[in-house]
Amino acid sequence: MKHILIPTDFSENSWNALEYAIYFFKTEVCSFYILHVGELSKSEIKNNSFVLPRKTKSPVIREKLKSLFERITDVSTNDNHHFIALQDYGNFIDIVRKTVETKKINLIVMGTKGASE
């Protein structure tokens, strides 16, 4: 089984990455981890402390994930595709590294807008 991480900011670019991964692995057994990383300032931490934010989803993010998963059901036809939503707060790169390690990720598929001058 392949473990694929797809970071999302709910943009069309991140959707394109997800859709591409679904089609690319259409005949494989896969777990797709859909990861949204929010800014630490939007977590429940209000000041400097050593308390870690709880991993609760905000209603807005929960609704966006629900819409995303509804779109996925229209695209994915493989019963061996499993989709898992993840949400965390903090530094994007640190959280991706942690997720790769803990979920034993084989591949990261990411859509970006690109750099501009």
Task: Write down the domain spans for the chain.
Answer: 2-108
| Identity of the residue numbered 75 | V
pLDDT digits (tens, 9 = 90+) for 7-35: 999 999 999 999 999 999 999 999 999 99
For residue 60, what are the contacts with CB-CB under 8 A and spacing of at least 6? none
DSSP state of 63: H
pLDDT digits (tens, 9 = 90+) for 53-101: 455 557 888 899 999 999 999 998 899 999 999 999 889 999 999 999 9
Phi, psi of 53 (to 5 degrees): -65, 145
DSSP state of 52: P
| Range 36-48 average pLDDT | 66
**Percent share of the chain, pLDDT over 70:** 81
- Please tell me the distance from the alpha carbon of residue 3 to that of residue 114, in angstroms, as a whole number: 25
Which CATH number applies to 2-108? 3.40.50.620
Dihedral, 57, 58, 61, 63 alpha carbons, nearest 10: 100
Q: pTM for the whole thing?
A: 0.82
Task: Please say whether the beta carbons of 54 and 3 come within 8 A.
Answer: no
DSSP state of 32: E
Residue that has been written with the tokens 């000041």 in this structure? 47
pLDDT of residue 84: 95
